[in-house]
């Protein structure tokens, strides 16, 4: 089977960006890790490991996290502004790659 041409380091960096997006959005909504964990039916320790990248973030969990944060999955996967600010037309501003 032929390997996909995406370097492992690049994948690790993208996963870290996604978990940073999740953390930023959670903090901007003043949600605690305990709150998020409760809504996801997991322990706070497990949730913390997801944000830190110690535990793999499954597609199912990504969908659930997006639902709790009331945001679409694309906004979690694409880079977001550090402050989660909205521009005048109420669309999420994205930071450049």
User: What is the rounded distance in angstroms from the CA atom of residue 15 to the CA atom of residue 8?
Assistant: 11
Architecture of domain 8-77: Orthogonal Bundle (1.10)
48 forms beta bridges with none
pLDDT value for 81: 53
Supply the pLDDT for residue 83. 43
pLDDT in tens, 2-45: 666 778 888 889 999 999 999 999 999 999 999 999 999 999 99
What are the boundaries of each domain within the chain? 8-77
β-sheet bridge partners, residue 92: 86
Residue 41 neighbours by CB under 8 Å, 6+ apart: none
Question: How many CB atoms within 10 Å of residue 21?
Answer: 23
Q: Mean pLDDT, to the nearest integer, of 52-79?
A: 92
Q: Whole-model pTM above 0.85? A: no
């Amino acid at each position: 089977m032929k390997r996909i041409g995406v370097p492992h380091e690049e994948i690790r960096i993208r996963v870290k960006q996604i978990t940073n997006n999740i953390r930023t959005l959670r903090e901007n909504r003043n949600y605690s890790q305990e709150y998020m964990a409760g809504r996801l039916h997991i322990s706070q320790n497990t949730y913390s490991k997801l944000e830190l990248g110690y535990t793999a973030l499954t597609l199912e969990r990504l969908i659930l996290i997006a639902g709790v944060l009331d945001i679409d999955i694309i906004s979690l996967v694409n880079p977001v502004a550090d402050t989660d600010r909205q521009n005048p037309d109420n669309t999420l501003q994205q930071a450049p790659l």
